[in-house]
Amino acid sequence: MIIFVSIKYVPVPMVPQSERFLFRRVCQRSYHIFRFIARYGYKDVRKENHQTFEQLLMESLEKFIDTNIPAPNFEASTSEEASTSEG
């Protein structure tokens, strides 16, 4: 998985926390390449250190994956494996 990270200052005083971090897929799903944008307004103060920033990035990625990527169907693969090992 590759994540491109950029920090962008936008022409508004403050960016709400709910809109601060944006994730987008860069190309086909199979490549697992994403773009992460942290947006700040010109009056926002960046208080977080790099560890906090990394934690926020990972939480945003988890949320993006949970809402945009379907979970694998483990039951189908398990039943297929069972039928091939029995034969």
According to the model, what pLDDT value does residue 46 have?
74
- The pTM for the full model equals 0.63
Contact of 42 with 31, CB cutoff 8 Å: no
Q: What is the pLDDT along the chain (87 residues), one digit of tens a residue?
A: 888 999 999 999 999 988 888 988 898 888 888 899 999 999 988 776 778 888 888 888 888 888 876 666 656 555 555 555 555
For the chain, the domains span 2-70
9: which residues sit within 8 A by CB, 6+ positions away? 39, 40, 41, 42
Q: Give, rounded to a whole angstrom, the gap between the first and last alpha carbons of the chain.
A: 36
| Integer Cα distance of 69 and 81 in angstroms | 24
Token pair, residue 76, equals: 């189908």
Amino acid, single-letter form, for residue 62:
E
